[in-house]
Structures are given as structure tokens and as C-alpha cells.
Amino acid sequence: MAKNEQSKKWRVNKADLKRVAKNGLLFLSPVALVVLDLLNRGRGLDEILVAVKVWGLGVALDFFRKLKAE
């Protein structure tokens, strides 16, 4: 399998999983900054969890986009 080969629809290859993981880590940095700011302001865990849930949804959407792509 070629390095840049696109996976078949409804199948995810190793390269797609690596891209999803890389994107997840990239988009984790703004969430980390928001969490640090919220902790600095003394906000509760509920507000921190909202930021983490939004990040998780973004990673899940990215995964499903890769899964659906042809």
C-alpha cells in the first residue's frame, strides 16, 4: 500500500489513523490553554469538561470524516 494511498470508503487505514491522532494532538493545544486559563480563574470542573468535550467531538468528527471519505 502506498504511503499516501486513500483508504476505501468505510475503511480506515493506518495512515488515516495517524492523521486523526496528529490532528487531535494539534487541536489539543488550544484546549490546554483554555483549561489553564479556567484553572487560573478558579472556574469549576464543569467548564473545563465543556472544553474537553468540544475537543473530543472535533476528534470524533475528524475520524468519521476520514471513515466516510472515498
Alpha-carbon span 55 to 4, nearest angstrom: 26
Of 8, 18, 21, which is closest to residue 68 (Cα–Cα)?
8
37 SS3 class: helix
Q: How does pLDDT run across 10-19, given as a tens digit for each residue?
A: 788 888 889 9
Alpha-carbon span 45 to 35, nearest angstrom: 10
Residue 43 DSSP label: -
Q: How does pLDDT run across 6-65, given as a tens digit for each residue?
A: 667 778 888 888 999 999 999 999 999 999 999 999 988 999 999 999 999 999 999 999
Between these two residues, 3 and 25, which has the higher pLDDT value? 25
All three cell numbers of 8? 476505501
